[in-house]
Amino acid sequence: MTEFQEIASCGRQHRVREPDQSVLLVRARGAEDLEAEALALVLAPYSGLDGLMARSERLVRAAAGQGLAGIAALGRLARADVLKRTGKIPQALRLARQVLEWATEADDRIVAARAHAILARALASMGERVESLTHAGRAVQLLDGSAPLHLRADHAVVFAEVTSILRPGGSLTALWQADELARELGDPGLVLVNLNNMAWVQYEAGDLFGARHTVDRLRLFAEESGAELSATAVDTVGRVLMEGGELAEAEAALAPVFAGRVQDTNGHGFAFCLLTLAEIKRRTGDDAEALRILTLCRQHAEAAGPADARARALHETAKIHAERGEYRAAYEAMAACYEAWQQLRSEQSDVAAWTLHTLFDIERAQQQSRQYQELAERDSLTGLWNRRRLDQHLPQLIDEAHASGPAGSPAALSVALIDVDHFKRINDRYSHDVGDAVLHAIARLLDQTMDGDGFAARLGGEEFLLVLPGTAAAAAVALSEHTRLAIENHQWSPINDGLAVTASIGVASLVHGDTQATLLRRADELMYRAKRSGRNQVVGPEA
């Protein structure tokens, strides 16, 4: 018998962590005590979920009995938070929306802000990214400096978390701001959650050095504060260590989760720890143990969620079978993986449709329609604007440049067409997953290059475009050279050892009579000139 045979049942064990504040509700000693309990319930889930539903229900009863409608509403939102964290997303959304409607009518900004924070996380968990960010922004905006620090700090963490989902790698500023508020509040659980989010954002962006540094800060703070890492944070630690090649240390970091000594505060940390452990075993050559752990992960996900962990476990299972030449087993696992992903997407679509139908009024539905239009103009892999958005926006910029320039000449406007060199070789040699990761990382680099009115777009495949209003040819070439170097010098090894990526760039600037078609055609010709001249270079307009 190995230590992992009882792993699924261990993952569902929770230790009771009932803070002393709960006795205040039994005694009902007044508004101040009830308000303190309401604020305590904001942060309590970061340490564990045991007993929180009962505490929130006692708070609702006690506050309602004393006519404290606002505190009772906060108690209902605490219930919604627990529902969300235990996978009951529709119920959480319904309850939070009801409270938000009451708070709006009662002009209670504190309760409204809290409802927006609950809605933000719930919507993010079902993939409604733009709507989630809208609620996260309102959760912060509704609180001024006089609002309780518990709420201001937590909502800053929520905003940073949701922003990192919408724009991976682009939310470190929000995370640092959240870190300052969490440390000012002095709540170890909140500090650890935010540090975990920061490490994961850096890891997702390919900044393995930054992620390793943040993981060290995370573990040191936990040790110094006496607080415990959640299963989600332990998984982050294990994955960052694993990607850095510290396989034995990564496995040791995960061990407390499987011994039942770590709280799973959001319901999916245990399953993802299993996925990370399976990857460690695969990298150490123990395919048999990796497959067995993946089986445990699927069983756990089927029983307790999350559904995407089951799909990921099947995908990893298929990869291992394929590497071992067990092609029939690989096919069967991949087919099951596809079915699991389709089922998950269907369930998310059903929840999203239900949300639109039951939660949002006409004004909100109209707002969401506009936001879905924005999502339709985003490339699903990279998050950059897509060709549809480019075809709508670039002609307008060209018309404005023609209209605002001096007689006979347009105002400055340039474009840079970027094509990843030998991209087919990357897909063929490393895998399409690696190719997707490369495109995602390049998109982040391009996004960081943009400022002002400029924007980056993915045209399709391995082609990107920088649109640079107000930028003349020389400046556009200089910026493109900076971009080329950023791609060439990026640390690609976290994606795959030995990986090197370069790009060829053609820069064209607007001239009299240009349309979008003629401008992009010149950029395309110059980009191919860069390819023919040896690749990994920038070719701009001829003097």
For the annotated catalytic residues, the residue numbers are 462
Secondary structure class of 459 (helix, strand, coil): strand
Backbone angles phi, psi at 467, to 5 degrees: -105, 125
Secondary structure class of 218 (helix, strand, coil): helix
Distance between CA atoms of residues 373 and 393, nearest Å:
14
> How far lies 36's CA from each of 21, 39, 217, 299, in Å?
8, 5, 30, 40
| b (16+ CB within 10 A) / e for 92-102 | bbbbbbbbbeb
Helical residues (DSSP H) of 126-207, grouped into ranges:
129-141, 149-166, 172-185, 188-204
Nearest Cα to Cα of residue 357 among 113, 90, 166, 29: 90
Contact criterion met (CB below 8 Å) for 504 and 536: yes
Give residue 498's Cα distance to chain centre.
27
Q: H or E stretch including 516?
A: helix 516-532
Contact criterion met (CB below 8 Å) for 383 and 168: yes
Residues 6+ apart with CB under 8 A from 325: none
Q: H or E stretch including 255?
A: helix 247-258
Nearest Cα to Cα of residue 338 among 322, 317, 368, 369: 317
Contact criterion met (CB below 8 Å) for 166 and 133: yes
> How far lies 156's CA from each of 181, 441, 534, in Å?
8, 26, 48
Contact criterion met (CB below 8 Å) for 149 and 184: yes
Distance between CA atoms of residues 105 and 472, nearest Å:
53
